[in-house]
Amino acid sequence: MVDVIQVTNPATGERVAEVNIQSDEEIKEAINRGHHAFQTWSKIDAHERSRLIRAWSAKVQEHKEELAKLMTLENGKPLNEARGEIDYSTDYLDWYAEEAKRIYGRTIPANTGTKRIIVTKEPIGLVAAITPWNFPTAMMARKAAPALAAGCTFIVKPASETPLSGMKFIDYAHEVGIPKDVIQYVMGQGKAVGEIFTESEFVRKITFTGSTAVGKQLIKNSSDKIQHVTMELGGHAPLIVAEDADVEMAAQQTIATKFRNAGQTCVCANRILVHENVLEEFTEKFVAEVKKLEVGNGLEEGVDIGPIINEKGYNKIVSQIEDAISKGAEVLVGSQFQSDMEKGYFFVYPTVLKNVTTEMMIMHEETFGPVAPIISFKTIEEAVELANGTPYGLAAYFFTNDYRVGHYLHEHLKFGIIGWNDGGPSAAHAPFGGMKASGLGREGGIEGIEPYLETKYLSIGGL
Ligand code: NAP
């Protein structure tokens, strides 16, 4: 009997599809094929690889609506956000289709006239990726696009909750002529597939987006075969509203960064730090905006906040809210839930908490839900200390119109991505990634292709 993964609609609990789990042998076979395909794909010239990746992007755009609906069905995010994710995904394809043609080496002046020094870049080999459910195609795109552009072959295991849109996304690559063994997906439980990837002598790189706990395990396991790693892990983003901020803009942008994907993104603002002199004004404006957000099935028009992906995620959010309330937090809006354990759907209404303190769980753990805890500060130094007081270092946001405060914050915040008066800094043309427990390496921008390349140094003597 073949094992299957049941894919359900998190908004209704209804079954969407069944996906076969591959056996260990089948996954190893796919790795073998990817390894062999590398011998030919890496020799295809960069302009042809670029053309194929651009064609893939165009094909995905042709099917944007269908792909977006599929994504909403399995992930729950509002349809407009799913459409946005398809655009974001093809941005990566477009960007790296161009970067394929810009993989430059260099020459270095030698310290003797009889030598010449040349540095070249070459693709690393077969890349194995593991992706999460919160951005089913975008997290694939930003790994697959630079890998293929560099001349690597690629194999990915999508998250068990949301394999369908990612699989379809890769089918489109095949439809435009990218060979089947150059980009493949395999299905299985994360731990089992992860171990096959890290035990394989053919896999030269592991690229992962997901939780810090799993990332750590993959780093450990990859040490056996000395595989390269890129790790995009958890976050706990602070959002600072300084005394001189444009409060209206800060409130609007906080809505955007806090509630996207029902708060289930690694760069969602998780701790809202507001200067005491603008606390009341900010809170009032922010709460007024939160009250406008519609909760429901992402396929329905006008819905802003979809369901929570599963019971585990829901329980974590509820326990953080309960913990905060038990320690003195005041609920300004939300703290309402709609769930059906039997049917398997879970909604959390957007929640704003006031009088939050550092004793509360929500100030230390990633929430991954639509909850905004507000804490006040007196000085910008205090805000920095609060903001940096976490093992994570992915994204941070601040709102100020004073360039001195802005520069101070930019220089002192220990985060890989910083939004200054900007709640949406992610872009295919910029480096995305975290410091500390948030990961290793960057995806996007000119930095995002380097991890798929080896550097080879040639010294020619006797001239
Ligand atoms: P997760 O449990 O780490 O799962 C992510 C992926 O890893 C899934 O494909 C999962 O497969 C697989 N997996 C699970 N256990 C594994 C193991 N032992 N070895 C190898 N693979 C394993 O993360 P999640 O809870 O679904 O996703 C949310 C987390 O991702 C959050 O912490 C969030 O911050 C982080 N995230 C980070 C970024 C970023 O760019 N930094 C972006 C998005 C999300 P199964 O589905 O089969 O279990």
Q: What is the pLDDT of residues 204-215, one digit of tens each?
A: 999 999 999 999
Find the mean pLDDT for residues 265-282.
Answer: 98
pLDDT the model gives residue 373: 98
Q: Is the pLDDT of residue 272 over 80?
A: yes
pLDDT the model gives residue 118: 98
Find the mean pLDDT for residues 317-338.
Answer: 96
Residue among 75, 130, 200 whose CB has most ligand 1 atoms within 8 A, to mutate: 130
Return the percentage of the chain with pLDDT > 90, whole number.
99
Q: Is the pLDDT of residue 1 over 90?
A: no
Cα 435 to ligand 1 centre (Å) = 18
Confidence tier at 332 by pLDDT (50, 70, 90)? very high
The residue behind tokens 């998780």 is 270
Find the mean pLDDT for residues 183-200.
Answer: 97
SS (H, E, C) the chain: CCCEEEEECCCCCCEEEEEECCCHHHHHHHHHHHHHHHHHHCCCCHHHHHHHHHHHHHHHHHCHHHHHHHHHHHHCCCHHHHHHHHHHHHHHHHHHHHHHHHCCCEEECCCCCCCEEEEEEEECCEEEEECCCCCCCHHHHHHHHHHHHHCCEEEEECCCCCHHHHHHHHHHHHHCCCCCCCEEECCCCHHHHHHHHHHCCCEEEEEEECCHHHHHHHHHHHCCCCCEEEEECCCCEEEEECCCCCHHHHHHHHHHHHHHHHHCCCCCEEEEEEECCCHHHHHHHHHHHHCCCCECCCCCCCCCECCCCCHHHHHHHHHHHHHHHHCCCEEEECCCEEEECCCCEEEECCEEEECCCCCCHHHCCCCCCCEEEEEEECCHHHHHHHHHCCCEECEEEEECCCHHHHHHHHHHCCCCEEEECCCCCCCCCCCECCEECCEECCECCHHHHHHHEEEEEEEECCC
Point out the ligand 1 atom lying closest to the alpha carbon of residue 194: 20
pLDDT the model gives residue 427: 97
Find the mean pLDDT for residues 180-188.
Answer: 98
| Average pLDDT of the chain, as a whole number | 97
Find the mean pLDDT for residues 187-207.
Answer: 97
Active site residue 266: yes
pLDDT the model gives residue 461: 98
Find the mean pLDDT for residues 423-435.
Answer: 97
Confidence tier at 114 by pLDDT (50, 70, 90)? very high
Write the pLDDT tens digit of every residue in 363-390.
Answer: 999 999 999 999 999 999 999 999 999 9
Q: Is the pLDDT of residue 2 over 90?
A: no
Which residues surround ligand 1 with Cβ inside 6 Å?
Answer: 130-135, 157, 159-160, 189-191, 194, 209-211, 214, 217-218, 232-235, 266, 366, 394, 434, 439
Find the mean pLDDT for residues 334-359.
Answer: 95
Find the mean pLDDT for residues 42-71.
Answer: 98
pLDDT the model gives residue 399: 98
Nearest to 338 by CA among 328, 349, 353, 324: 349
